[in-house]
Amino acid sequence: MSVSPDAPVLFFDSGVGGLSILAPARKLLPNMPVIYAADSAGFPYGTKSEAEVAARVPALLGRLVERYRPRLVVIACNTASTIALSVVRSALEVPVVGTVPAIKPAAEQSRTRVIGVLGTNATVRQPYVDRLAAEHGADCTILRHGSADLVALAEAKLRGEPLDPNVARNALDGLLGQPGGDKMDVVALACTHFPLLLEELTAASPRPLTFVDGGAGIARRIDYLTQGQQWPEACEPGVAVFTRVDENTRALAQSLHNFGLDRIEAL
């Protein structure tokens, strides 16, 4: 089946975290039409139960696919992916790319064989993380920490608000303070919000740490799955869709524009 050049790629997250996935994808595929969807009415996912996320995400994505007819869906959220990816794939008739904690590249880069997984509370407790750890980091000590405050900090940063440096420091302390934390050399940022805070995390670290995330790998996957398809001849501004539009949403307008999203719509 041929794909229209104008058919967009749909990026989905609870908030603005998926922008860290959109950026490397746009770099690789500059003319890619984009719909960025944020479930602002359901934000944040990281403090919700598995049942809530598993019920909410497939239903929302069904509505979004019906409205925007994307060629591909990217669940640009570790929490939603580790909980609902298989359900979404079975429910939708378009290819779906998930975002999973970057344990494989973290293990490949670690010299001390102690790596951290920094994510949401929901993500770090998932059996999916256990499987990734067993598959790619069997010889590593893997420390996990969940931080809801760090998610909120990323949202505040993109709204242009002043940031409390203690939030990033406390999140890192949650890993460094664990047994073996003194040897940790690589941290997998297992929430798409966290690469948006790379500057803050680097500044908050008491010693040099390597931070890795899955953005570049997701971009390559999108490129691979759309090979042979036509794209528009020029880059058009993308659309940001929110399940709730309020003053917090409107405060994101400048940051959304910086990521090539010039129109805000409500779902």
Residue 235 among the catalytic residues = no
Q: Report which DSSP code applies to 97.
A: E
Tell me how far CA of residue 40 lies from CA of 14, 192, 237, in angstroms.
Answer: 6, 15, 21
Residue with tokens 């040897």: 183
The side-by-side arrangement of strands in the sheet containing 210-212 is 141-146, 114-119, 186-190, 210-212
Catalytic residue among 34, 115, 175, 191: 191
Contact between 259 and 23 under an 8 Å Cβ cutoff? The reply is yes
The catalytic residue among 16, 19, 77, 129 is 77
Query: Counting Cβ atoms within 10 Å, is residue 65 exposed (0-12), middle (13-18) or buried (19+)?
Result: buried
Question: Is residue 77 flagged as an active site residue?
Answer: yes
Cα Rg of the chain, angstroms: 18
Task: Indicate which residues carry an active-site annotation.
Answer: 77, 191
